[in-house]
Amino acid sequence: MMRSSEDIYTLLEEVKDPEIPVLSLVDLGVITNVSVENNQVNIEMTPTFVGCPALDMMKQDIKDVLAKNGMNHVSISVSFKEPWTSDKISEKGRKALKQFGLAPPPVGKNLFSDIDVLEHAACPRCGGSNTSLKNPFGPTLCRSIHYCEDCREAFEQFKPL
Amino acid sequence: MNDLAIKELLYKMADDQLILGHRNSEWTGFGPLLEEDIAFSSMAQDKVGQSYALYTILHSLGEQEPDTVAFTRNAEQFHNSIFTELPNGEYDFSLIRHFLYDTAEIMRFDMLTESSFQPLAELAVKVRAELRYHTLHANTWVKQLGSATEESVARLQKSLEHALPYALGMFEESPYEKELIETGVFAGEKKLQEKWLVKISAIINETRLQLPDLSTLQPVSGGRIGKHSEHLQPLLNEMSEVFRIDPTAEW
């Protein structure tokens, strides 16, 4: 059966970020192109952070899901032509992050002309911005650590990039 | 365009990132605060990942696999600046090195976003964005500790004076400098050093630290041509120890 690239995108919804199991790679925005020629599936992807250690796992998970659906000729290339930024996370992905307890990154802001973006991340619990940045580095490369003064609890944000 | 010129540029950048990345990783478990432990560990992961991306470009130009290049060369085959291989010392030295190095590095990648060598220009856009977190971190702590107590100011000042001749060695020119500039691959070490000086001066002026007159300092160079301090080979031995036990192992 011939599959279209749309079919592949739908199947890739099943492949989740290994570190954030509620977020698909499609919603994360790391899949930059899918093409199908005869039986050959070509996927282009780009990492969130250059040193992301989950990249190989993501590639394997993509192959596993496509193999399960009968596609065994899959080639995946990694490219920086269209570099990932946090604005590539879909609206659905942002909601999933918030439900997971991770503050989604602010959209469309130039992080370093506006340091408040980092200093006052919106708390994923109460939605308030009475928060402070504890550490621009967190448990994974893509997360920072914050504290909500109202909830009196720490939280993490998916870093704007 | 001359491949040798581009390779030389890529090797020195990749080796800088790998070696300083390794030094940063030595703070894992030893940071003065948990936050600093995490910060240096995260920066280590970024830098080693960025070196991997640069070695991957080198591989596409006919060099060996990234792991082979990273783990099987000896000290004299590395092109990192001596600055990056110096031991971490106390936290004040590590912080000052992080500040002086990352300020140069983000500007280098910023210049390279305009490179005529497309794969490097594409990667530079990405790496520049990541390094903003590194310079934010360095600037925050230099400003804070550079104006805090007598002890913190004195320690940073001493480390700054010790580090600067080595930092100037980062800008050791390539034998292909003229060619890189003329072909639009990289605007050159001199230009980079000028931009770097403006930036570090601006940050230091916000503190009680004093920047010495750089023209009186003798740069510690040699790293770019494989002449290293006694500190690099032991670092390489440790870094490649596991790899060398079984280079064919699948991970």
Of A51, A79, A137, the CB nearest to B48: A51
The answer to whether the beta carbons of residues B138 and B188 sit under 8 Å apart is: no
Once rounded to an integer, what is the mean pLDDT over residues B43-47? 96
CA dist A65 and A18 (Å) reads 14
**What's the token pair of residue B179?**
């060619």
Q: Is A53 on the interface with B (CB under 8 A)?
A: yes
Task: Find, among A121, A26, A83, the residue nearest to B129 by Cα.
Answer: A83
Looking at beta carbons, which residues of chain B come within 8 Å of A112?
132, 136
Residue-wise pLDDT tens digits, A35-84: 999 889 999 999 999 988 889 999 999 999 999 999 999 999 999 998 99
Residues contacting residue B3 through CB under 8 Å, at least 6 positions apart = B61, B62
Q: What is the amino acid identity at position B245?
A: I
Q: What CA–CA distance (Å, rounded) separates A2 from A36? A: 9
**In angstroms, rounded to a whole number, what is the distance separating the alpha carbons of residues A89 and A104?**
9
pLDDT for B26:
97
Looking at the DSSP assignment, which residues form a beta bridge with residue B11? none
Q: Above pLDDT 70, what percent of chain B?
A: 100
Q: How many CB atoms neighbour CB B21 within 10 A?
A: 22
Q: Residue range A11-27: average pLDDT? A: 93
Are A51 and B39 an interchain contact pair (Cβ–Cβ within 8 Å)?
no
Whether residue A117 is predicted with pLDDT greater than 80 in this model: the reply is no
Mean pLDDT of chain A: 90
Give the dihedral sign, CA B84/B40/A19/A23.
negative
Annotated domain spans of chain B: 3-245
| pLDDT recorded at residue A116 | 58
Task: Give the position of tokens 């639009």.
Answer: B184
Helix axis angle, B232-239 relative to B3-25, nearest 10°?
80
Q: Would you place residue A119 in the very low, low, confident or very high pLDDT band (cuts 50, 70, 90)? A: confident
User: Quick one: tokens of A34?
Assistant: 């899918």
* Residue B100 CA, distance from chain mean position: 9
Q: Where in chain A is the domain with CATH 3.30.300.130?
A: 5-84
Under a CB-based contact definition with an 8 Å cutoff, are residues B145 and B154 in contact? no
Structure-block tokens of residue B96? 């000052």
Residue B16 pLDDT grade (very low, low, confident, very high; cuts 50, 70, 90)? very high
The candidate with the shortest Cα–Cα distance to B198, out of B104, B96, B83, is B104
Q: How far is A23 from chain B (nearest CA, A)?
A: 22
Give the number of residues written for chain A.
161
Q: What pLDDT shows up at residue A111?
A: 54
**Superfamily, domain B3-245:** Ferritin, core subunit, four-helix bundle (1.20.1260.10)
Please indicate if any CB of chain A lies within 8 Å of the CB of B128: no
What's the one-letter identity of residue A38? N
Of the candidates A106, A149, A145, which has an alpha carbon nearest to the alpha carbon of residue A131?
Answer: A149
Return d(Cα B201, Cα A108) in angstroms, integer: 31
B53 interfaces chain A, CB cutoff of 8 Å: yes
Across the interface, do B137 and A52 touch by the CB < 8 Å criterion?
Answer: no
Q: Is A71 helix (H, G, I), strand (E, B) or coil?
A: coil
Contact present, B184 and B116 (Cβ < 8 Å): yes
> What sign results for the dihedral spanned by CA atoms B8, B12, B15, B17?
negative
Per the CB < 8 Å rule, is B129 touching A80? no
- Tell me what pLDDT residue A1 has: 64
Query: Is B48 in the A-facing interface, judged by CB distances under 8 Å?
Result: yes
Q: Look-up: residue for tokens 């749309």? A: A6
Closest CA to B26 of B167, B235, B243: B235
Lowest mean pLDDT among B74-83, B124-133, B150-159: B124-133
> Would you place residue B135 in the very low, low, confident or very high pLDDT band (cuts 50, 70, 90)?
very high
Task: Give SS3 for B12.
Answer: helix
pLDDT of B187 over the 80 cut = yes
Instruction: Say whether pLDDT at A109 is over 90.
Output: no
- Residue B158 to residue A139: CA distance in whole angstroms: 33
CATH topology of domain A5-84: GMP Synthetase; Chain A, domain 3 (3.30.300)
CA distances from B193 to A3, B134, B219, B227 (A): 54, 19, 12, 21
Q: In the prediction, which pLDDT does A151 show? A: 95
Nearest to B46, CA basis, from B93, B86, B105, B89: B105
**Collapsing DSSP states into helix, strand and coil, what is residue B17?**
helix
**β-pairing verdict for A31-37 and A20-24:** unpaired
Which of the residues A19, A50, A135, A146 would you substitute to probe the B interface, choosing the one with the greatest number of B C-beta atoms within 10 Å? A50
What average pLDDT does this structure show over B104-120? 97
Beta carbons of B38 and A138 less than 8 Å apart: yes
ipTM value for the complex: 0.86
